[in-house]
Structure formats: structure tokens, C-alpha cells
Chain A
Amino acid sequence: MPYTFTVSPDFGPDQLANWHIFNTWLQRQLTTDIHFETFDSFEDQRQAIHEGKVDIIYANPYDASFLVREKGFVAVASPHHPDETTVAVSATSPVDSIESLKAGCRIAQTDDPDISMMGMILLEPADLHKENTETLVQDSYIQVAKALLQNQADVGFFLADAYEGLSNLVKSQLKPLVNSDIQIVSHALLLGPQLLDRKEELNSKLQSMSDEPQGKNLLESLGFQAWNPIDEEEMEFMIDLIEALAA
């Protein structure tokens, strides 16, 4: 049976195409069959993880925490590209700071658990929390933007990269209130229990990926410069941080 590789479900179609190419690269490096599987939601992906159907994953830090502490995955490398959150409103909104948001406000977000958590933390200075806000879950960050433009939501949470990637036309109709500057949490590539003995091998292939033109191009298409190895303690520390934040 081939192994299964998957990525965070928050990636758009273009990125998925690039991850598919990464999967081909992975198969060649590890000389084994690996099937690239995508999931429509974080929920579906988590279910597959519970059923032991995922062997390699490029996971967001929130999921990495349960993969490492409960499912026996190990982190191999991260692209050193921290995950940050942008909180934005419609450009026409009277709201011009986090503190001017009011109880009862409607929040558009995707089901990305990292960004939801960070977004809610960024709203705390306005005394907003799950109980006094309404969450409107959207399928994509484009939909989050639309919900703001169509006045179906008062505020939206974006992965900062996704916000940056919106078209200029859309961005011109939005107003960012705050960008997180956390710097310490990022996605990571994790190996499941069946593949633990391949960790060192994979790590050295990932490290040399940026040395050859094809690998370098692929990295660039994924938006990275290079992979940085993560040791066990670094990963544990990142998980501690996430757990400290997930109050």
C-alpha cells in the first residue's frame, strides 16, 4: 500500500498543484509510493488522521500539536516562514481599531484552527470572545473577503499570506486592523509512526533541496527559501506555546 501525504486544507488550488509536484519529489527521494491526498476541511483531515490514513503531513502548528503529542508523529523541517494572522474589516466600515469592535459582531473566518485561535486572541483587547460574537465559517479566504464586502460579516480573520495574496481590487475594499507578529509558530513537515526511521534521510534530502535548480524552483513555487531542520525540543516548545495560547 502506498503511503499518504497531505497538506493543510487551507491551501488554494494553485498551491495544491505545487504540493502535488512536491509529492512527486518526495516519492523520488524516498523511493517509495506516496499518494497525495487533499481534504475539503480540517474536520475531514483530522478524521483521516485518527483512522491512521495519513503518513506524511505538512501541518499547521495547531494540528502539529496533537499529531506529535497524541499520534506519535515527529517534525522533520519547517520552511521558517511564520504563520501570521491579519484581522480586517470592509474599507467602508466605521470600525478603525480592534477596540472599536462591539459585542455581537459577526466574524468571517475559515475553519483553519490556527488563524481562528490567533484571530480571537487579537480581539481580546475589545473584550470579544466566543460567547459574545458570531462565527461565520467560510470555505476560503476569498469567501471571507466577500462576506466583508457584502456586509454579511463585520470583521474577518485571514492567514496573513492569504490576505496579501488577495487581488488589489479586493484589498482596496478592505481595511486591515491588525497584523499579528508572533514569529515563532509555523507550519511543519511531519512524519507518521510508520516512517520514523526515514527521518534523517528525508531531512538531509530536504536540506539539499535548495542546492539543485529543480528543487529550488519547487521551493520557490511553494513560497519558501529553504527547509530548516526542527529538532524535537524546538517542536515541543512550539507546541507548549500553542497550548499556552489555546486557553
Chain B
Amino acid sequence: MQDMNPADIPGEYREVLLNLYDGTRRTVLVTDVETPYPEGKLIVSRTDPEGRITHCNRSFVDMSGYDESEIIGQPHALLRHPDMPAAAFQDLWETAREGRKWHGYVKNLRKDGGYYWVYATVIPNVRNGKVVGYTSVRRKPSKKKIAEAISTYAGMS
């Protein structure tokens, strides 16, 4: 995955080095600008069994700030925000690999360094008893749930 480009970030930003699960690293550029969740919409994406994105809807593209061509084929870690604890994603993957549904609050990173909060559900796509991929549907979280997630994640690593 490519590092983020300072030219894409309007204004001041912080630089953070993320250690990803597969052992690779990515330098991300982060601002404090929140993009509000689009009213009434769902953000949907789908992956192959390895977690590479195969489909995403208009809202996914709009909220991430990337072009669709920059998203397809990438892992969701493209959206990984440094404020998210690795343990949350470990739980997500363990749950989904066991064929179960995962729910959680996720702070996502945009191409422009800003962020947006979602309430996400991840489910495995099971066909003839085999996991052929994963789907995630995100919806608008309440302010209270976001505040709770912020304090929970602050105590995790």
C-alpha cells in the first residue's frame, strides 16, 4: 500500500507510522477534520477471502476520498486510522474467519487526512459452505456511541 501524499492534505497534519498486521508499514498523514456521515446512506464494500476489496459503492468512494480505481484491489487497511487499536481489528478478523458476524465502531482515515466514524458490520459471504469473501456495511453511529468508543479505544492498544 502506498504512503499518503502531503499534496492531498489541506492544511496542517501529523505524520504517523502504522505497523500493519502483515508486517508492512505505512506512513499516514492525519488531521482533526471530521467528515459527517452522509444521512440515510450505507457504506458498502466487499472483499475476496484475503481481504482485498473487490466492490465498493458510491458512498464508500465519496467518504474515503479516493477514486474507485485506487480502492479496488487494496486491503481495507487503506482506511486504517492510527487512533484505532489493533485489537479491534484482530477481533473483527477472528470473528469473521469463524463465519460469524462482527459489529463495531470504527474511525476511518480519509485520503485527505480527515476522518469519519461508522458503525460497521462485517459478515462472511458463505456459498455452498465455503467463505468466498467478506462484506461490510456501515451506518451512521450516534454521538453517544462514538464518545463511548473513543474512551474504550483510548485504553486499548
Q: Residue A148 at the B interface, CB < 8 A?
A: no
Number of interface residues of B (CB under 8 A): 29
Q: Residue A195 at the B interface, CB < 8 A?
A: no
Q: Residue A49 at the B interface, CB < 8 A?
A: no
A76 to B41: give the CA distance in the assembly, Å.
Answer: 27
Q: Residue B103 at the A interface, CB < 8 A?
A: yes
Q: Number of A-B pairs whose CB atoms are under 8 Å? A: 63
Interface string of A178-198 (1 = CB under 8 A from B): 111111100000000000000
A138 to B57: give the CA distance in the assembly, Å.
Answer: 34
Q: Which residues of A contact B141 (CB under 8 A)?
A: 124-125
Q: Which residues of B contact A125 (CB under 8 A)?
A: 37, 140-143
Number of interface residues of A (CB under 8 A): 24
User: Shortest distance in angstroms between A105's beta carbon and chain B's nearest beta carbon?
Assistant: 14
Partner of B40, one of A127, A181, A233: A181
Minimum CB distance partner of B123 in chain A: A244
Residues facing B in A59-116 (CB within 8 A) are: 98-99
Q: Which residues of A contact B44 (CB under 8 A)?
A: 184, 241
User: Shortest distance in angstroms between A191's beta carbon and chain B's nearest beta carbon?
Assistant: 20
Q: Residue B130 at the A interface, CB < 8 A?
A: no
B125 lies within 8 A of A237 (CB)? yes
Partner of A179, one of B40, B103, B122: B40
Q: Residue A245 at the B interface, CB < 8 A?
A: yes
User: Shortest distance in angstroms between B48's beta carbon and chain A's nearest beta carbon?
Assistant: 14
Minimum CB distance partner of B125 in chain A: A240
Q: Which residues of A contact B41 (CB under 8 A)?
A: 180-182
Q: Residue A236 at the B interface, CB < 8 A?
A: yes
A127 to B147: give the CA distance in the assembly, Å.
Answer: 12
B139 lies within 8 A of A124 (CB)? yes
Q: Residue A161 at the B interface, CB < 8 A?
A: no
Q: Residue A122 at the B interface, CB < 8 A?
A: yes
Q: Which residues of A come within 8 Å of B, CB atoms?
A: 98-99, 121-122, 124-127, 178-184, 233, 236-237, 240-241, 243-245, 247
